[in-house]
Structure 1
Amino acid sequence: MRILPRAKAFRAAAVSLAALLPAGARAEGIDTEHLFGFMIGADVGNVGEREFQSETTGRFGKNGGRYRALGQEFELEFTPVQNFRVEIGSTFASHMFSSVPGLDDQRRFYWQGASLDLRYRFLDRETGPFGLTFATELHAKRVDEMTAEAVRGFGTEFRLAFDRELVPDRVIAAFNLIYEPEWTRLVGSGVMERESIAGVALGLMAQLRPGFLLGGEARYLRKYEGAALEELAGQALFVGPTAYFQLSNRSRLTASWSVQAWGRPAGTKASLDPVNFERHQARLVFGVSF
């Protein structure tokens, strides 16, 4: 019940912003490529399309103390051929936390690493029963995103994305299957750590007016020790609202916020898992085509 006022505030802010949208915001169809905050849709853009994107992600709250982690990624996206999209990105991050059990106090800003995202659409929902896209992201990092320790890390993210319009040009649903293995070597000690995350995500968005969609996302994630899902470390369920704004024919904005509604570290009977996951996650994505 504690999250209800925040959800109402988010909805009120989204509706107020929608009223400011230009009347000429595009009304044809629903493009799911950038519709969601923490999920992906099956659309990959039109051939020849180029975009610049700024993605800001905030993660807040752990198991005590004060924990704030911000990531800022700048990305360039290209669709060189039909049904295939390429994205390259560079990420900066900052950590501000103190008195968090198991973590050293940190207050720093740094360049974190680079990424390459490739997506191929196998099915177009306009001609098939649903949209289907396979996505893989490769990334290298210099600093651990949770602990802020100096590392040499490499990870991949595999997603299978499905989407389907439940009501044509009005309501759309999306589903993601997620697998994220990661290998991290700690600088100094040389210790190699391997971990992975597996999960599912479900999103639903409704177009309330041309260029403005409002809905929500739910994600169930399981974190494992070992890159091959070997030993369960913890699990969590995140839920929260998402809003999409088509600002103009060339620009867009997506805002999403998720709260850990349920979670459990392995071997406990707790109702939340603030050890392996954050209590709150937020994301703001701005994009412009050129």
Structure 2
Amino acid sequence: MAFRARIFSVVVLCLPGSLPAVGYAAEVDTEHMFGFMIGSDVGDPGEREVQSKTTARLSKSGGTYQGISQALELEFVPAKNFRVELGGTLAAYNINNVSGFSDTRRSDFQGGSAEFRYRFLDRETAPFGLTFGVELHADRLDENTAARVRAYGTEFVLAVDRELIPDRVVAAFNLLYQPEWTSLAIPGAPIQRESTIGAAAALMVQVVPGVFLGSEARYLRQYDGIGLGDFSGDAVFIGPTAFVKLSERSRLTAAWSFQVSGSSTEAAGHLNLADFERHQARLIFGVNF
């Protein structure tokens, strides 16, 4: 199964070079094109959208590990080059007989978030697009263990993208830093600090007007503490992504990402299943109004 998945991703990565040289008239919009990354586009002033984002995180070392989150998000563009997103998330977990985890079956409201993006460079007038994003979130369920917690975090993302072939091939690159503060939801519980840094790259090709296929690859490093001092583990994820413009007002993004290599200070092996999952998948549906 893992071997077939790797072959599939290699095929997707090589797809752009194998397509015939035909013209594509559909306009490229990278704002929602990716599953686990962000593009530099932020929308036009006055634009409003609502989107549903379903994320699945599956498989740890042994046993059963299933974590499904369902977010509902409202996006709006109050000024040129500036986008705001507000959201809330429900989550469901099924964890059984996984080493280092308590057995849990739980569904509950997970938390809320606010995201702000500002575009410094527009691809239409500059050699590439450049956007900086900040997301703030507060959670009452731990994203990894499903324990009841008080968790606060921030995600900083720098996004760069460029059309390699106008209206046909898009390349993107992200840098990220995610500090987190977490404590169990009991009086006097100590605060645990951790952070994640990473880099991601994607290549997407428009195969027919309004339909993009491609792949995303991510490298993530986990640390104990927010100062990147104590290394905990790392992982490499890769997988296919599809973006479909369903109509003038609606769109769909689907992505699947699987861990191809990793290391952990907690356990030996060629994968890091202590800090990360073996598989991650995401489905995003959005509508302008």
Distance 2:185 2:120 in 1: 41
Which residue number corresponds to residue 40 of structure 1?
A: 38
For residue 193 of structure 2, what is the aligned residue in structure 1? 194
Contact 2:249 2:288 in 1 (8 A): yes
Q: Which residue of 1 aligns with 2:99?
A: 101
1:181 counterpart letter in structure 2: P
Cα distance per residue 1:58-112 (max 9 Å; x no partner): 0001111110000110000000100000000000000001000111111111000
What residue is the counterpart of 2:79 in the other structure? 81
**Whole-angstrom distance in 1 between the partners of 2:67 and 2:229:** 27
Where does 1:17-166 land on structure 2 (aligned, <5 Å)? Answer: 27-166=25-164
Name the CA distance, whole Å, in 1 between partners of 2:209 and 2:84.
28
SS for the counterpart of 1:248 is coil
1-structure distance, mates of 2:185, 2:266: 30
Sort the Cα spacing of 1:202 and 1:6 in 2 relative to 1 into closer, same or farther, 3 A.
Answer: closer
Deviations 1:245-264 (A, max 9, x none): 10011000000000000000
Mapped to 1, the partners of 2:273 and 2:150 lie a distance apart of: 25
SS at match of 2:275: coil
Corresponding letter in the other structure for 1:148: A
Q: For residues 144-169 of structure 1, give each alpha carbon's deviation from its aligned partner in whole angstroms, at most 9, with x where no partner exists.
A: 01101111110000000000000010
Shift of 1:269: 5.1
Q: Verify the 8 A CA contact 2:95 2:105 in the aligned structure 1.
A: yes
Moved more, 268-277 or 49-58: 268-277
SS at match of 1:127: coil
Q: Which residue of 1 aligns with 2:202?
A: 203
Query: Which SS does the other structure have where 2:100 is aligned?
Result: coil
Structure 1: stretches of 5+ with no match in the other structure? 13-25
Deviations 1:12-44 (A, max 9, x none): 9xxxxxxxxxxxxx9432100000000000000
Which residue of structure 2 lines up, in the alignment, with residue 280 of structure 1?
Answer: 279
| Contact 1:7 1:240 (C-alpha < 8 Å) held by counterparts | no
Is the 8 Å Cα contact of residues 158 and 179 (structure 1) preserved in structure 2?
yes
Tell me, what secondary structure is at the counterpart of 1:185? strand
TM, length-normalised to structure 1: 0.92
Contact kept in structure 1, 2:266 and 2:274, CA below 8 Å: no
Code of the residue aligned with 2:254 in structure 1: it is A
Gaps of 5+ in 2: 13-23
What is the aligned partner in structure 1 of residue 17 from structure 2? none
Q: 2:20 aligns to what?
A: none
- Aligned to 2:108, the other structure's residue is in SS state strand
Is 1:7–1:241's contact at 8 Å kept on the other side of the alignment?
A: no
Q: TM-score, normalised by structure 2?
A: 0.92
Kept after mapping to 2: 8 A contact 1:41/1:162: yes
Q: Provide, for residues 172-192 of structure 1, a one-character-per-residue CA deviation record: whole Å limited to 9, x for no partner.
A: 000000100000111226121
Label 1:258 to 1:266 Cα distance change in 2 as closer, same or farther (>3 A).
same
Aligned to 1:175: 173
Structure 1 residue aligned with 2:261: 262
Q: Secondary structure at the match of 1:107?
A: strand
Q: Distance in 2 between matches of 1:203 and 1:286?
A: 20
Aligned partner letter, 1:149: A
Deviation at 1:270, TM superposition (A): 2.1
CA distance in structure 2 between the partners assigned to 1:57 and 1:149 by the alignment: 18
Shift of 1:122: 0.1
Does the aligned pair in 1 maintain the 2:92–2:108 contact within 8 Å?
yes
- Provide, for residues 101-155 of structure 1, a one-character-per-residue CA deviation record: whole Å limited to 9, x for no partner: 1111111110001000000000001100100000000000011011011111100
Residue 225 of structure 2 corresponds to 226
